[in-house]
A and B are shown apart, each in its own frame.
Chain A
Amino acid sequence: MTPSIAEVIRTVALQKHYQRGAELVRALRGVDLVIGRNEYVAIMGPSGSGKSTLMNLIGCLDTPTAGEYILNGQPVSGLDDDQLARIRNREIGFVFQTFNLLPRSTALENVELPLVYAGVARAERRERATRALQEVELGDRLGHRPNELSGGQRQRVAVARALVTHPSILLADEPTGNLDSRTSEEIMTLFGRLHAEGQTVIVVTHEPDIAEHAERVVVLRDGLIAEDRWQAGRRGSTDEARTPVLHEV
């Protein structure tokens, strides 16, 4: 396995500045980060350290002020809005803190939505969305609307929606922020299972308990990476081959 194939995300001196009135906010001040295929990374850091900003850039919801972002070997910087939308549709699966399900649509319709934008035909959409919901153990809740589901169930619908297009990355920003600890554990177990099945997972969190589940922890402080460590006991033997990827940057 060569590094270029194993690597999903590579950022080079990534910067993001915001103008807030007269003040220039440097949310990211030069982030170099490489994430390989099937890694499970937790991004931590205090509030305002730039976690969400980094997530938005990785998720192609936003473009950097400076620096480069290469997703699956393709530089994202020069892409226009429609191309970014296409990448979000195909390569990224978002899970949000507040679930962000469409309230008037059923679980099935919510999960079908990315496939609608992918141009998948109705029958196939149905089938794939149903399967995705079955994978998160909601096969019996297809016709339920979000307000008829518990918080944990809603977040699992969101996970199914994120995964239905088979994206390269599952991106979750504080996915357990609105859940109680038991449900949080349930979602994190689900993430662990997805990771074991080969999914690349990136979770933003400020809770150490949640970060525990990841095999690698990246800590941001003031828009820079302050710490990047592998967690003991979370990694298998094959992961050794990927370690150099991190340090080649």
Chain B
Amino acid sequence: MELREAIRVAFSMIRAHKLRAFFTILGTVVGVTFLIAVITLIKGMDAYMKEDFAGRIYGYNTVQLRRNSSGPSFGPPSEEERRMRRRRPRLTFEDAEWLRARMETPGILAISSMNNGQVQGPGGRTLENVTVNGASATYFQMRELELEEGRPYAEHEAVRGVPVAVIGREVADKLFDGRGALGRTVRIQGIPYQVIGVLEKQGTLFGFSLDNVVIAPARSPVNGFVNPYNVVDEISFKVPEASLIAPAMGEMEGLMRQRHRLRPLEPNSFELETAEASLGFWDKISRMMLVALPGLVGISLVVGAVVIMNIMLVSVSERTREIGVRKSLGARRRDILLQFLIESGTLSGVGGVLGILAGIGLAALVSAISPIPARVAPWSVGLGIFLGVGVGLAAGVYPAYKAAQLDPIEALRKE
């Protein structure tokens, strides 16, 4: 019997017993809904973390060198860990220069150190808790920062530590009512700086404004404020394409080990991070969710399979006479077996499709009320259909086998 014929029969059975069919496939629907919703949300969360969150903290295609890790971690560090962290040498301007002179992987190197400080505008307007960032001239390029007006400071200004500053949108709004900030003076921690640029609006990250910021040359007078004198928080290296991240990281590691005179088996006395690597904690969470997922989905599908099997057994018994008729007309055992297998596969496959729709709907709902985008993974749709059909086939084996084994005479005699 051809597949199309069997599927046609399957759909006519579904139509004939709509309510029963629905309850039959409920398990499949729920299981696949879980599957699709969770995978879609994890994917969405992943996209959010990697593209939005990590990109903003670390920049794309960037390797970051730090004394200690900046990434989120689970729980507070142990006492031993803290001691180890304190023993590590601080990173300095000289380290950055030394690295820049030696890096062979193409890319740009930038330094940056941050501290929260006070910024004063004209007429005594004062802002507290502004992010003061002492950075190299390359920092703007590195972070792909666009200026709304004015210009970033140049290399020669940065090297000489000229007191000029680029200010964030929020600072410009609050100190200058949004207009005419260029050329004016602001006092950072009391030290006068000339405003030469205003950043485009950056938005927020986890509720923190990225526009409440001033950026000034690292060697300018903020040097000793953002950090102990000549110490830098981060040395970043941005490569032109993702494939160069690993080579750059390897090279920086080798150079820094040399710089810190580490013996071969000694652990690194610094931290190298990338947006990708810093997402380790997120990977852990998503992996945990993905590990729990098969359990949830599995339980629903097993329950679904048991229901399908029982309903199919009822169906076989109700249609015993039909089976007898089919056999009398020349259906072989395998024709009957296939017919019932295809029926339960189709039934459950329909459940899979409904589950996919419900799962996507659920994920869309969550993304509508949260910043997490819904990213439907094509493979999860494939998996949903595969599982739906698979559950039906597995659950159908025994009933279909029973149907195929029926004796035609007995079957025909049944009322």
Contact = CB atoms under 8 A, between A and B. Distances in A.
Interface of A: 56, 59, 61-62, 81-82, 85-86, 88-90, 94, 96, 100-102, 104-105, 113-114, 116-118, 161, 165
Contact of B325 (A82, A90, A102, A165): A102
- The 10 A-B residue pairs with the shortest CB-CB distance, nearest first, are A89-B330, A117-B330, A85-B332, A114-B329, A100-B325, A82-B332, A61-B408, A88-B330, A94-B328, A117-B331
Contact of B327 (A85, A101, A102, A165): A85
A100 B332 contact: no
Contacts of A113: 326, 329
A203 to B, nearest CB: 17
Interface string B292-326: 00000000000000000000000000000110111
Interface residues of B, number: 23
Nearest to B1: A116
Given A82-B333, A94-B329, A102-B325, A116 B2 contact: yes
A81 B333 contact: yes
A152 B5 CA distance: 28
Given A82-B333, A116-B2, 9 more contacts: A56-B409, A61-B412, A62-B408, A82-B332, A82-B334, A86-B330, A88-B328, A117-B329, A117-B332
26 contacts: A56-B409, A61-B327, A61-B328, A61-B412, A85-B332, A85-B335, A86-B332, A88-B327, A88-B329, A90-B330, A94-B328, A94-B329, A100-B321, A100-B328, A100-B412, A101-B325, A102-B322, A102-B325, A105-B12, A113-B326, A116-B1, A116-B5, A117-B326, A117-B330, A117-B331, A161-B329
B260 to A, nearest CB: 78
B16 interface: yes
Contacts of B327: 61, 85, 88
Contact of B1 (A90, A104, A117): A117
B10 to A, nearest CB: 12
Contacts of B408: 61-62
A85 B330 contact: yes
Nearest to B5: A116
B12 A104 contact: yes
Contacts of A56: 409
